Amino acid sequence: MISSRALEFGLKGRVAMVAAASKGLGRATAEALAREGCRLSVCSRSIENLRFDKGDVLAVACDVSKAGDLERWYNETVGRFGQVDILVTNTGGPPAAKFAQLTEEQWRSGIDSTLMNVVRLSRLVLPGMQQRVSEARRAELAEAFVTARTEHLGDRPGQAKREDLEQQARNAGLSGTSSSTNEEIKQDLLEHAEQSSE
């Protein structure tokens, strides 16, 4: 349970993009960042549930499975706040199903909404982060580059707490991509920091 008392993580004034922030993990993350003083850019398919009591918040209707929507959300965020300091990718997948029941469209939709949205958002946000961060703080960028994901647990008879095959494939791709990308970014930033100290 997240305490209502701010924990002073030094995030005041920073700009955080939080995907799928209308409920669940996304909303809890956004509320926690707001308590720390972050300026928020939040998205959901519908902005009806993107109301926050505190803080400077930009709410945008966005389908994270669509590249055009993600680019528009990013552009609106930079237009409002000037930059992005923290990125939290978050989305739910389609309902659990057996392999034989999954159509090709469901596979594509699941990959676009849970894997490709991370790739697309990261590619949009990272260049601005790298450009702004000073040489002395480059190694800290990896810590602000946050990826969060949620897991759908089937609740139908015979499927309770069972990950379906399609979700396992998506999660494997997401985990591998996030891990490799974060490690590559961290190494690149450390090399820049070492060069600047010579």
Domain-wise residue ranges, the chain: 15-197
CA distance 188 to 176: 18
Q: Note the pLDDT of residue 160.
A: 39
CA distance 169 to 114: 11
CATH number of this structure's domain 15-197, picked from the four choices 3.40.50.11860, 3.40.50.300, 1.10.3720.10, 3.40.50.720: 3.40.50.720
The count of other CB atoms within 10 Å of the CB of residue 129 is 20
Contact between residue 161 and residue 126 where contact means Cβ atoms under 8 Å apart: no
CA distance 157 to 88: 33
Encode pLDDT of 96-152 as tens digits. Answer: 778 788 888 888 888 888 889 999 999 999 999 888 766 546 556 555 555 544 444
Name the residue among 187, 190, 50, 41 with its Cα closest to residue 121: 41
Look-up of token digits 């956004």: 30
Please report how many Cα atoms fall inside a 13 Å half-sphere around the Cα of residue 121, on the Cβ side.
36
Contact between residue 43 and residue 20 where contact means Cβ atoms under 8 Å apart: yes
> Per-block average pLDDT, block size 10, for the chain (198 residues)?
56 95 93 94 92 91 94 98 94 75 86 89 91 62 52 43 57 67 72 66
CA distance 148 to 143: 13
Sequence-separated (6 or more) residues with CB below 8 Å from residue 129: 84, 85, 141, 144, 145
Q: Note the pLDDT of residue 22.
A: 93
CA distance 13 to 16: 9
Q: Note the pLDDT of residue 141.
A: 58
Q: Note the pLDDT of residue 91.
A: 82
